[in-house]
Structure 1
Amino acid sequence: MLKGGYPAKLKKVLIVTAPLWFKAPFRILRLFVREKLRERVHTVNAPQLGLHVPRSSLPKQLGGLHEPDHAAWLEHCKNCYTNNLQNAKLDGVIDEYVISNHIPPINAQNGIIEHEGDMTSDRATRLGDSNTDMHISGDPPYTCDPSPLRHTHGYNGDMKSRHINSGDEDDMDISTRGTWSSGEVSPGLSDEEGGGGGAGETPQALLQRVRALGRRGLAAEYDEIRSRPPVGTFHHAKLPSNLAKNRYTDVLCYDHSRVILSQTDPDDPTTDYINANYVDGYKQKNAYICTQGPLPKTFSDFWRMVWEQGTLVIVMTTRAVERGRVKCGQYWPLADGQHVVYGDFAVTTQAVEHDEDYTVTHLLLSDLKRGGSRRIWHGQYTRWPDYGVPGGGSAQPVLRFLARCRRAQALALHDLDLAWAGHKQGPPIVVHCSAGIGRTGTFLTLDICAQRVSAEGALDVRGTVERIRAQRAHSIQMPDQYVFCHLALLEYAVMQGYLDSADLTGFDEDNEEESE
């Protein structure tokens, strides 16, 4: 193990239900082994196996759904190998999808949700209750490709010590400053990128590029990104039993990155569905879960997802009602001390903190069926309009909220200590607005880029947006949101001392001339 020979050849090594006396020396031992090995060896409890391996692939004795048939598996491997060789002879290239060019059976999990889908556009008012797919994001309509469904959830663990930012509430340093290590990444992303790396530019280079492009140039850059077709399929989201679980009929979740809930009803093959996707962070696989604002009848699914994913922090970037329309259900109790039950879970509000721009609610989530409870930090940014960007001429309030969210995650993770055996940055942060693409995607872009510039002194706004959109379709919904990401990150660079100033005189001149 010290040389990292045999284990490093495996993608992931899980040490299940290790005794406490083993965990402490193992945590020290990790510091002396190769980084590549550290990233692939994890100590986990049996309930945490579902975070690393889909429950459909876990044997029943470990809490999964799979009944292994070794002989059948070997036969399947032989057939796949034979097929690949035949295709290689015909085409010269082995088709990576030749093994399984079909939709696999869907595992039955949580109960069916019945809710009539609504629309995010004002057109919904004019078109009534039609269930026809409405295209509100401005992106190309969804298309289905024949790619098989792929599930890419799980975490890469790191038991190294974590740095906790102990500054006051207004500290704007979003990073955890320290050594970053790559986790596994989604298809199409390299190990080095980890959802947030790749080619980048210094804050000074970013400033020069923003000056050169202006608002119109950045909007054109966004239009080019938006014009690309989706990179995955939406088969699960479009199943008749699942359509009603989508808040908006045209905001669906990719199959390859969707969050799969645990099985609760073996007779219903579609009850594992929730409109939510994993999204990689800065050198952390599945750092976030992007989801829609919960519907009243999906409240229990939402809280079950939070529980099963080990989530400690929920970020909400919408108000429940905006412009006279319901954008998100009230899925948590508002009053201090209030207790509400959602299916098998109870949520109790323990304290509420009000800020001019956001509200923080400290919640206690309890599993009524299996026992246990966990504290949840819920941050709601209340001054971010739908289809828009925060006003006021400064991104400081949003950046302050972002820093507060990061600090909440770090402190909650510190409290868990040995109870958490996953990635050093902790379990996925759940982020949602109304549809889970516009303001949600903007928040993720700011968080990923801010962490990277703090760690490396470089960032890649465009690349980050492209990677987020590869996991949560149509993230960053409007050109103004794309522009805001650039301006906010320049402001962050100034605040952190990476830039002396960010003079953008003439940035809007093209728009002014056009309006004249």
Structure 2
Amino acid sequence: MAASLTHDQECATKNFIELINSRPKRKLGPVSWSTAVKFLFARKFDVSRAVALFDQHEAIRQREGLTRLDSTEEPLKSELQTGKFTILPSRDSTDAAIAVFTAHKHVPTLSTHQMTLQGVVYQLDVALQNPTTQKAGIVFIYDMTNSKYSNFDYDLSQKILTMLKGGYPARLKKVLIVTAPLWFKAPFKILRLFVREKLRERVFTVSLAQLTAHIKRESLPTQLGGLLQVDHNVWLSHCLQSMTTCPESPLPLYGNWNKKKKSYNKVEFNIVDGKTPSPQKKLATNSDLEISSSTNNVDSWAEEANLNPPSSASSGFSDDDSLHGEGAALTMQQLVEYVRDRGRPGLMQEYAEIRSRPPDGNFTVAKIRSNLPKNRYTDVLCYDHSRVILSEIDGETDSDYIHANFVDGYKQKNAFINTQGPLLKTTTDFWRMVWEQNTLVIVMTTRVMERGRPKCHQYWPSDIDGETTYGEFKVRSVAVDSNSDYTVTSLVLINLKTEETRDISHWQFTSWPDYGVPHSAKAMLEFLEKVRRQQTVMVTALGDTWAGHPRGPPIIVHCSAGIGRTGTFCTLDICISRLEDVGTVDIRGTVEKIRSQRAYSIQMPDQYVFCHLALIEYAISKGHLQSADLTGFDQGMDDDSD
């Protein structure tokens, strides 16, 4: 059945479609209503998050050659017939669909990554048409029974995980690796490090006997010790029917359509006692696939070829997924030992490895001619998939651009907005962003002028009772508190159009050198702690008027370029939040995640090293560590090094 949408959801769907379909030179054709709703449900109708998921999904499909899938043509036809990957006609106890990859059937020398991924994605697209799958997600079984080292493809495994964990509009509930041989232990350790997000706690290595603790025998195929009889050819017949009926799942031009005959066969299925029957072909019509079943315990992929939007907002990753906090877990003592063993040269080399990786997205919007002057630096641009999108002014599409990206915090999506120091010409847009994103706290980690060069426009009145007007907003300063390391200015932001007012707290850290790090982390750590405390106070003051995340709306953080000191501030905040929550940290994973949303974050190797030393200093000050022996940390550095 079709999911009914609220007025706000319909508006969000229209907004999503307009954002995608208005893009210049879009190659994959217009996005339909059902596709838009699918991605929006996956991100709880947050348009910016849904667009980010869509962009990542589309980028992966284009990069891996997954845009046109015709199961009647080679090599996809033969790949599907191998049966190495299939969707079972059953579900687990939570109604999640069950996908099985049989490792011993995969021969890397005969099947390219593209060919294998096409086979996987083609079938997942069909599975995702089912609203139950959209709601309950997918369990992925990697069956290594009787497999050899020659059957294993590490790079392919990474690609599948990358796609499923953040580039596909379906929730990956669990990964079950069955009967893993001894030789798999080494690559598995590396794969677990690669999976740095919440998915990591959902990956299990199990024996056949242990598998039934996750999925009941009635829902498992006989090859995995279950009772289910599976005919892969029946599933492929259903896929062909489904994709010819609905060739846009989940994006346009994915699927099959016989343009010459303009017809196809439809398969009618009858599921009886959990057994897969042989199909009966009949002439296709536009009616839904007919299903009958004598048991409520078996839910089949053949229950309904539903072409309507999902019926639940739980498809895709939840708010806590794809966030910091689930990567390599180091206790503080382990971190000290790691830092001591690596030394400053080792940490700088580690940073060089991170920095050498190419960007994780595109900068198309930032490079549009009318938007280029809005970027402070020509070599520091905004990702498309995580950029903050302003409301349009008078229908001008370019008016939605500001040089700013959403960045996740610890167990909080879009906890930060990392941006450049506003230019004179972009200050009106900056305050518009503050208003539209309901921001309470602004963190500035630069001075307006440094070493005789302008780093940021003076976008707020620094004197008490000062007022400045930018477009439809007036900014008034009501209090200033200065000390040797930072200045706090209490501002009132007035919307001249609606006559509403909001309190804004502006925190400027003034003792952080450009292109460097503070000599001591103490002042920076105290500053960060007070910023967090201020955010908490202001969120509490909102009372019931704030219905979002308990930690409040995004904190805007900027320096000059919005990547170096800004990235360092966010890294420390995330790592400290995790340390206080679960007692472990993952600095490298945090930096990599931030860089995937805000390109080039952590600009200098010294800033990466500073994050490690500052976190150790914090741990000692809070009693997480008694002391830290870093003897020999600077060994191997040149005498004139900082």
TM-score range, shorter chain: 0.5 to 0.7
Alpha-carbon distance, 1:339 to partner: 1.2
> What displacement does 1:197 show?
3.0
Asked if the contact 1:318/1:382 (under 8 Å) is kept, the reply is yes
1:331 corresponds to which residue?
Answer: 459
State the partner residue of 1:487: 613
CA-CA distance at 1:509 after TM superposition: 2.0
Match of 2:378 among 219, 224, 249: 249
SS of residue in 2 equivalent to 1:475: coil
Distance 2:317 2:456 in 1: 32
Shift of residue 191, structure 1, vs aligned partner: 4.4
Counterpart pick for 2:422 among 281, 294, 300? 294
Give yes or no for contact 1:151–1:256 (8 Å, CA) kept in 2. no
Question: Would you say 1:350 and 2:310 are equivalent positions?
Answer: no
1:203 pairs with one of 328, 332, 336: 332
TM-score, normalised via structure 2 length: 0.54
Letter in 1 for 2:331: T
SS in 2 for 1:423: coil
1:57 is matched with 16
Counterparts of 1:453 and 1:255, CA distance in 2: 31
Aligned residue in 2 for 1:306: 434
1:500 corresponding residue in structure 2:
626
Give structure 2 stretches of 5+ with no counterpart: 23-30, 39-60, 80-114, 123-162, 169-312
SS at match of 2:577: helix
Deviation (angstroms), 1:94: 4.0
What is aligned with 1:20? none
Alpha-carbon deviations, 1:188-228, whole Å to 9, x = none? 99944523432210000000010011111100000000000
Contact 2:325/2:410 (<8 A) preserved: yes
Q: How does 1:193-232 map to 2 (within 5 A)?
A: 193-232=322-361
Q: Offset of 1:514 from its aligned partner? A: 8.3
Distance 2:13 2:402 in 1: 15
Q: Partners in 2 of 1:291 and 1:95 — Cα distance?
A: 41
Contact 1:476 1:482 in 2 (8 A): yes
For 1:244, what is the secondary structure of its paired residue? helix
Structure 1 Cα separation of the partners of residues 476 and 500 of structure 2: 14
1:374 aligns with 2:506: no
* Residue 438 of structure 1, CA deviation: 0.3
Which of 431, 443, 448 is equivalent to 1:320? 448
Q: 1:74 to 1:437 in 2, by over 3 A?
A: closer
2:628 aligns to what SS in structure 1?
coil
Letter of the 1:360 counterpart: V
Aligned to 1:431: 557
* Cα shift at 1:265: 2.6
SS in 2 for 1:399: helix
Larger relative contact order, structure 1 or 2 (CA cutoff 8 Å, min sep 6): 1
The one-letter code matched in structure 2 to 1:453 is: L
**What is the alpha-carbon distance in structure 1 between the residues aligned to residue 545 and residue 605 of structure 2?**
42
Displacement of 1:57? 3.1
Structure 1 counterpart SS, 2:503: strand
CA contact (8 A) 1:55 1:262 kept: no
| CA deviation profile, 1:79-135 (whole Å, cap 9, x unmatched) | x9995564964734349999xxxxxxxxxxxxxxxxxxxxxxxxxxxxxxxxxxxxx
Identity of aligned residues (%): 55
Q: How far apart are residue 359 of structure 1 and its match?
A: 0.1
- Corresponding residue pairs, total: 378
From 520, 527, 535, give the equivalent of 1:409.
Answer: 535
Q: TM-score, normalised on structure 1? A: 0.67
CA displacement, residues 3-25 of structure 1 (integer Å, 9 cap, x when unaligned) = xxx9xxx9xx9988xxxxxxxxx
Root mean square deviation, CA, Å? 3.7
SS of the residue 1:237 aligns to:
coil
Structure 2 distance, partners of 1:404, 1:151, is 36
Question: Does 2:568 match 1:442?
Answer: yes
Helix, strand or coil at the partner of 1:240 = coil
Structure-1 residue corresponding to 2:580: 454
* Structure 1 residues 456 and 349, CA gap change in structure 2 (3 angstroms): same
* Counterpart check, 1:276 vs 2:236: no
In the alignment, the residues of structure 2 paired with residue 347 and residue 55 of structure 1 have an alpha-carbon distance, to the nearest angstrom, of 33
Equivalent pair of 2:319/2:412 in contact (CA under 8 Å): no
CA distance in 2, matches of 1:406, 1:15: 35
The CA distance in 1 between the partners of 2:450 and 2:639, in whole Å, is 33
2:198 maps to none
